[in-house]
Amino acid sequence: MPIVATPEVGIPLPFDTTPEELTDFRDKAHALFETVQELIAQGAEVEITDEDKAQSHKIATSGKLPPVKNITPGTIINLEAILSEWDQEVLDVSRRLRSYVTNKLIMESVDPDPRQRIKALELLGKTAGVGLFSEKIDINVTHRTVKDIETDLAKTLEMYMGAVETVEVKEIKSLKDIDLDEDES
């Protein structure tokens, strides 16, 4: 038997929650939904009742999940549908706002006042799709050998300190090879 979950539009999320609480709330709700999905995949049957819809609306508007033992699978499925619809509405509003601003800038770009026209064209050029006036930082990485770096360092030290004395390094294979009584003067 298929489960039909119809999202209901217009259920606002509360404004008195912090972004962390909201993310935590959304993550917990989605985790509950994934659990119900797994139960359904294992053969459980879930029906969404009017009480489930009412409780999911109450949970969505409060932004707080009650204890898990007090939530039915139908409530969880309907809550996920409400929250997913809200997520889509947020994305749609963002896209529409971006489109509105771009269209207004296009209209301003033909303004008779050159200052208005230049500013509108500059802002249009800075939009993500165009990227004409975006500030880019080029980083060039030059790979050099250790020998080249040592040579440059020796030249720099010689410039400030005078002649640089090169000291040969003896390779010691183990601590037993070190003679502490030996005078190295």
Question: Which residues in the chain show pLDDT less than 70?
Answer: 1-23, 128-136, 164, 173, 177, 180, 182-185
Ordered DSSP codes for the chain: --------S--PPPSSS-HHHHHHHHHHHHHHHHHHHHHHHTT------HHHHHHHHHHHHHT-PPPGGG--HHHHHHHHHHHHHHHHHHHHHHHHHHHHHHHHHHHHTT-SSHHHHHHHHHHHHHSTTT-SS------------HHHHHHHHHHHHHHHHSSPPP-PPPP--SGGG--TT----
Region for 82 from its dihedrals, namely left if φ exceeds 0, alpha if ψ lies in -120 to 50, beta otherwise: alpha
Mind listing the pLDDT tens digit for each residue in 128-159? 666 666 666 778 888 889 999 989 988 888 88
pLDDT at 23: 61
pLDDT at 158: 83
Q: Is the pTM of this model over 0.95?
A: no
pLDDT at 18: 58
Please answer whether residues 36 and 58 qualify as being in contact, where contact means their C-beta atoms are separated by less than 8 angstroms: no
pLDDT at 145: 92
Residue ranges per structural domain of the chain: 19-109
